[in-house]
Structure 1
């Protein structure tokens, strides 16, 4: 399987004789499939591809889709909708999951627009689907041990070629309260297998989408740290938060783990300011405070504001009461989209090619 994450090596300075604007023009025409490799070439290329203006131009020139699936729960049924500030390519219908056989719940989203869903079947036993909403491709996959309740789940796709994928699932064994069971599904074998158990009690991991970066899946824990599961070694560890943040200084819902410019980032939202911390060195677990952003102006009109993602190097994606917002760190609202419910229960970042690909 091809690499499923951006590399963790230190990139080099560029020795290219071409000026930034020429390289920028070239990179905005790189396919979504090729973009991760471009970002590993050097610091200059990575910086240019995370420029706030890059995403819009890249989507337009390569017919790429970029946005978020919002999911809410109503009367024990899950409903999802797609929001974006980028227009969809002319060949793509409005994104939804109505092409699947049943009403479904989004469980996880991977790169290249692959989505893992479940539907409730007989006696509450779920059925699992993997799909690509941009092209309306889908397939059913076998169930794991559904008598164990799912704690957290993630899907990871190959970055190039046929759309191979793996699903990592942590579940709660019956009558066991000190560890989580780990199972892995591989699209090439079309089968689940059991991996090593994780010595964490059920309920330790926050109910959010996993952050996939540095070759690992990451979730914030309710104990004040970060759980990291190495995808290739199938091992796990706990990462400490920055010392300045502390364990009990802020409510857990004021913290958000995100991926920003290919690195693990922690966003803190308190009162009228936002702090962004970046994992400067993953192996040494060394954090650096990247920036502090004043939210005073936007919170006057949106007091119930929560951070969901860092959309680009200088733009945050937030949700508020009956709306979602793209907010420039310089102090301007780039876009606001009204939604017909108070808040999204879950938010999944979504990027996809608009062309059909082979799904193994």
Structure 2
């Protein structure tokens, strides 16, 4: 929703350092009420209008309220490219990670994180970095790429079994306006049909610290693939899972684990029948118009023959109901060589367009042009050759980013230090 302002923001901002007179100033409460209805990027630009507007946007209380507003949460998601932009360090050292907007190609910020950290997932406008492989207790680092602000969260508790695998995910609870960090820990393999998964939860800013729970699961979260970040949709985290057996690292995808962030409960849903993927290739999960979508290759003779997009409809959440999977799109995939599992690939939905990238080619399909016909494979509308990224750079494209004014420092447990560390998002 866009509303008319007393002045055109961009035009007024180009007028230099001219200040409005006191008679022209809007009462601060009214100004913030107006700004609350604007998208995040427009609010940030309003900093250039005048000192009064700048002060209104900088107010920590306003930033927190706007982050939870309909204008911020309903914004269309954007794509980010997260890259390691320095030489890989040694254990105990730090690395610089760059966050880039895919649509503009511009760098948003550069974050210094400890060696071995990687992006766990994106939650609204916050990025969560965690130690992916070495230390399950290491404090997670939350970052707002729009402002460059970061905050290290409290250490997680020790694992019940030091040999367990683990997965972190940051979630948001719309009813309570709370951010929660989940850590799932579980055996690396098992001969049982189901195993217990420990779930440690920390509500950001809560002085009570971490709390522990557990649940039985028929499959284990996939942890080693950087492209399989948990997907947050409508207050629920969605995690692709794999089987429990002793060859778990080569087991075909097992299901979708759904964590209800407000209730802190879990359910595991089966994957679509005839998904088409094979043991070494996980389906990719992302949001498509408010629903979970899985992209999965179909192979023939060791080569990809097609790429299918399945959409999950789980409005029926009774114990007797299972989600319905709708095969929405199926594309022909041209491959001259054997399918190389070591090469990264990704898929996403943006501006009514399905996108798929593998190696250095970006494929696009405008979903408004035709109605899918599952009796034949679709062809991509457009193919673009992308610039090859240096192998020294570790990079992944992530979906689901929605710009926010929220400062991570509002979650600091020491309230006396919040004002001192609050950075200016308008600088």
TM-score, L = length of structure 1 = 0.66
CA shift, 1:317, in A, is 4.2
Q: Residues 309-352 of structure 1: CA distance to partner in whole angstroms, max 9, x if unpaired?
A: 313242324342xx473644633135623211189576533625
Between the aligned partners of 1:209 and 1:123, the Cα distance in structure 2 is 18
Aligned partner of residue 198 in structure 1, secondary structure: strand
- Cross-structure match for 1:168: 182
Aligned partner of residue 126 in structure 1, secondary structure: coil
CA shift, 1:292, in A, is 1.0
Between the aligned partners of 1:212 and 1:345, the Cα distance in structure 2 is 21
Aligned partner of residue 68 in structure 1, secondary structure: strand
CA shift, 1:166, in A, is 1.2
Residue 196 of structure 2 is aligned to residue 204 of structure 1:
no
Q: Residues 39-67 of structure 1: CA distance to partner in whole angstroms, max 9, x if unpaired?
A: 99xxxxx9xx87xxxx7xxxxxxxxx742
- Cross-structure match for 1:295: 333
- Cross-structure match for 1:68: 81
Between the aligned partners of 2:182 and 2:146, the Cα distance in structure 1 is 23
Aligned partner of residue 110 in structure 2, secondary structure: coil
- Cross-structure match for 1:141: 153
Cα pair distance change 1:80/1:186, threshold 3 Å: same
CA shift, 1:86, in A, is 1.9
- Cross-structure match for 2:110: 96
Match 1:276 to one of 305, 309, 318: 309
Match 1:259 to one of 282, 287, 312: 287
Asked whether the 8 Å contact 1:205–1:221 carries over to 2, the reply is yes
CA shift, 1:253, in A, is 1.0
Asked whether the 8 Å contact 2:256–2:268 carries over to 1, the reply is yes
The answer for unaligned runs of 5 or more in structure 2 is: 1-37, 42-65, 244-253, 299-303, 317-321, 367-379, 412-427
CA shift, 1:153, in A, is 1.0
Aligned partner of residue 387 in structure 2, secondary structure: strand
Asked whether the 8 Å contact 2:312–2:326 carries over to 1, the reply is yes
Q: Residues 249-301 of structure 1: CA distance to partner in whole angstroms, max 9, x if unpaired?
A: 633515222221210111111213211011134424011111112232xx459
Q: Residues 73-99 of structure 1: CA distance to partner in whole angstroms, max 9, x if unpaired?
A: 96777774445442267xxx543213x
Between the aligned partners of 1:235 and 1:193, the Cα distance in structure 2 is 16
Number of aligned pairs? 299
- Cross-structure match for 1:156: 171
CA shift, 1:353, in A, is 2.8
Between the aligned partners of 2:211 and 2:157, the Cα distance in structure 1 is 10
Alignment RMSD (CA, Å): 4.4
Between the aligned partners of 2:405 and 2:261, the Cα distance in structure 1 is 28
- Cross-structure match for 1:226: 256
- Cross-structure match for 2:354: 315
Between the aligned partners of 2:105 and 2:79, the Cα distance in structure 1 is 9
CA shift, 1:171, in A, is 2.0
Match 1:240 to one of 270, 274, 295: 270
Asked whether the 8 Å contact 1:85–1:335 carries over to 2, the reply is no
Q: Residues 186-220 of structure 1: CA distance to partner in whole angstroms, max 9, x if unpaired?
A: 1231443324202238x821122112224321222
Between the aligned partners of 1:198 and 1:319, the Cα distance in structure 2 is 36
Match 2:323 to one of 285, 294, 299: 285
Between the aligned partners of 1:187 and 1:114, the Cα distance in structure 2 is 12
1:35-54 paired onto structure 2 within 5 Å: 37=70
TM-score, L = length of structure 2 = 0.57
Asked whether the 8 Å contact 1:218–1:226 carries over to 2, the reply is yes
Aligned partner of residue 359 in structure 1, secondary structure: helix
Asked whether the 8 Å contact 2:205–2:410 carries over to 1, the reply is no
Between the aligned partners of 2:289 and 2:207, the Cα distance in structure 1 is 33
- Cross-structure match for 1:349: 399
Between the aligned partners of 1:294 and 1:206, the Cα distance in structure 2 is 27
Asked whether the 8 Å contact 1:256–1:307 carries over to 2, the reply is no
Between the aligned partners of 2:388 and 2:220, the Cα distance in structure 1 is 33
Between the aligned partners of 1:66 and 1:118, the Cα distance in structure 2 is 20
- Cross-structure match for 1:16: none
- Cross-structure match for 1:59: none
Asked whether the 8 Å contact 1:111–1:159 carries over to 2, the reply is no
Aligned partner of residue 238 in structure 2, secondary structure: strand
- Cross-structure match for 2:301: none
